[in-house]
């Protein structure tokens, strides 16, 4: 069982759709992360929210938009995605940056 919950588990969407991925943790962690993982590749960091401050990997395209409504929730808004965006999207949390990160089960995203 994981203490980081991600929904949905699977998502299929067209390139013109708008959808959101959700992540929730109730461990009181103050840092939350979004990673993208392609098949047979390591996770790649997309965004970090640490103490309500957002840090962005500058290589992430603007069609991905994170939102942190509160310290236990992290959303990833998707708009006008491309087929190459198909991947496993992992959320993680930690007490603070530089502390152990715990991953959710991920959302497997397919872009048609």
Partner 1 sequence: GENVEQHPSTLSVQEGDSAVIKCTYSDSASNYFPWYKQELGKRPQLIIDIRSNVGEKKDQRIAVTLNKTAKHFSLHITETQPEDSAVYFCAASIPGGGADGLTFGKGTHLIIQP
- By CB under 8 A, name the binding residues for partner 1: 2, 33, 40-45, 47-48, 55-58, 90, 97-106
Q: Are 34 and 74 in contact (CB under 8 A)?
A: yes
Give how far Cα 102 sits from Cα of 7, 42, 68, Å: 16, 15, 18
Task: Output the CA torsion sign for 29, 33, 79, 21.
Answer: negative
- How far apart are CB 111 and partner 1 at their closest, in Å? 19
- How far apart are CB 103 and partner 1 at their closest, in Å? 4
Pick 63 or 102: Cβ nearer partner 1: 102
Pick 25 or 101: Cβ nearer partner 1: 101
Q: Are 15 and 112 in contact (CB under 8 A)?
A: yes
Pick 32 or 78: Cβ nearer partner 1: 32
């Amino acid at each position: 069982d994981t203490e980081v919950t991600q929904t949905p588990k699977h998502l299929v969407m067209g390139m013109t759709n708008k959808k959101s991925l959700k992540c929730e943790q109730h461990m009181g962690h103050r840092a939350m992360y979004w990673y993208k993982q392609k098949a047979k590749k390591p996770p790649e960091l997309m965004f970090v929210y640490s103490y309500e401050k957002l840090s962005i990997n500058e290589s992430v395209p603007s069609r991905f938009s994170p939102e942190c409504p509160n310290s236990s929730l992290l959303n990833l808004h998707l708009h006008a995605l491309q087929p190459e965006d198909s991947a496993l999207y992992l959320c993680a949390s930690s007490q603070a940056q530089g502390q152990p990160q715990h991953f959710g089960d991920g959302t497997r995203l397919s872009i048609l």
